[in-house]
Amino acid sequence: MPRSEPGSRDGPVGIKQVAQLAGVSPGTVSNVLNKPERVAAKTRARVEQVIKELGFVRNGSAASLRAGHGRTIGLMMLDLGNPFFTEMARGVEDLMSEREYGVILCGSASQVGREQRNVRMLAEQQVRGVLVTPVSDSGESLARLRERNIPSVMLDHAATRSDQCSVTVDDVAGGRLAVAHLLERGARDIVFVGGPLTTRQNADRRAGARKALREAGCGTLREVIVDEMTPRAGHEAAEHLLAELPDAVFCANDLLAMGVLRVLLQQGVRVPGRVMLIGYDDIEYALASAIPLTSIRQPPYKLGRIAAELLLDECEHPGSHAHQQIMFQPELVVRESTS
């Protein structure tokens, strides 16, 4: 089945056809595409005209084969079901789209195996670089990328190596902020509800929470650890709480908090009257929940954009690129669930 192009005869439109019709050599067309400044304005205009007429589109695979990498980057997200991460993805996609890069999206669903399979796939696709929100301490995946000289930026996870960029928010500070707030509001018996502690986010937020308690000289932190960080897991966690209601609950993310809130209200527990509740991430929907949720705000869209910029800088200027570990400070947003 031959391809047909508007305004021309059959056959694939390649750089050669363009060259012929414009009366130049293929090499010149290539220069118009990649280094326009090196081509005389007049020649360039003519070539560009022909490109438009023929509806020519460069074959990315060929370019990529020659150059050793293409105009795509990989984006590996921990949890595509969480608006925090999809907002981050949106930030990445927006920037990459502006810079005319494609984004290959992968979800690891918090599983090391999936992360590794996906990294392998990205390497096959000859991506220019990779953005990763890593599963636990997944040095393995990053090492593979390094072996292959594929630049990477860690997202929502601080790099320990100085030859690696990362963009994060201080989760220990966030956990501390949350619990300090609860203490200030008079809570003493506080429960931390979180996902697996192998996930850095959970571990750090809990560490921050403990720190706040220590600083205040108060008792210890009760904990309920569940498998996932979803509203459903929040329901489950809340069942455990009902036996012995605490003064306050600090959830490791808003999705958990929404689940907890739902069960508490269903059981007739007053929030914040009987139990105060605080979440994490400040996703847009937390604001709209039954009792507007106090939360710790992070700027996911911005994190995504900045990480994307760092990655492209490293890809396109490997010489002058300076690795950075950027860490934002989270912010407490007080709403009704703790007032």
Partner DNA sequence: CTGTTAGCGCGTTCAA
Partner DNA sequence: TTGAACGCGCTAACAG
Binding footprint of a copy of itself on the chain (CB under 8 A): 1, 3-6, 55, 57-62, 64-65, 70-72, 75, 80-81, 83, 86-87, 89-90, 93-94, 97, 100, 102-107, 114, 117-118, 120-126, 144, 147-149, 231, 258, 261-262, 284-285, 287-292
Q: Residues 6 or more apart from 3 whose CB is under 8 A from it?
A: 10, 11, 12
The footprint of DNA (CB under 7 A) covers: 12, 14-16, 23-28, 30-31, 33-34, 38-40, 42-44, 58-59, 62-63, 65-67
Of the pair 149, 162, the CB lying nearest a copy of itself is at 149
Q: Residue 126 is which amino acid?
A: Q
Collapse the DSSP code of 173 into the 3-class scheme (helix H, G, I; strand E, B; otherwise coil) and give the result: helix
Q: If contact means CB under 5 to 8 A according to the sort of partner, which of DNA, a copy of itself, none does residue 55 touch?
A: a copy of itself
Of the pair 34, 111, the CB lying nearest DNA is at 34
User: Are 257 and 293 spatial neighbours (Cβ–Cβ below 8 Å)?
Assistant: yes
Residue by residue, DSSP assigns 46-67 as HHHHHHHHHT----HHHHHHHH
Give residue 163's region: left, alpha or beta (phi > 0; psi -120 to 50): alpha
Shortest spacing between CB 45 and a copy of itself, in angstroms? 20
Of the pair 211, 323, the CB lying nearest a copy of itself is at 323
Q: If contact means CB under 5 to 8 A according to the sort of partner, which of a copy of itself, DNA, none does residue 111 touch?
A: none
Shortest spacing between CB 126 and DNA, in angstroms? 9
CA angle 305, 311, 314 (to 5 degrees): 145
Of the pair 89, 180, the CB lying nearest a copy of itself is at 89
Of the pair 72, 133, the CB lying nearest DNA is at 72
Shortest spacing between CB 215 and a copy of itself, in angstroms? 33
Of the pair 3, 9, the CB lying nearest a copy of itself is at 3
Instruction: Read off the tokens for 8.
Output: 């021309």
CA angle 108, 82, 213 (to 5 degrees): 105
How far are the Cα atoms of 96, 128, 138, 179, 226 from residue 135, in angstroms, in the given order? 24, 21, 6, 26, 17
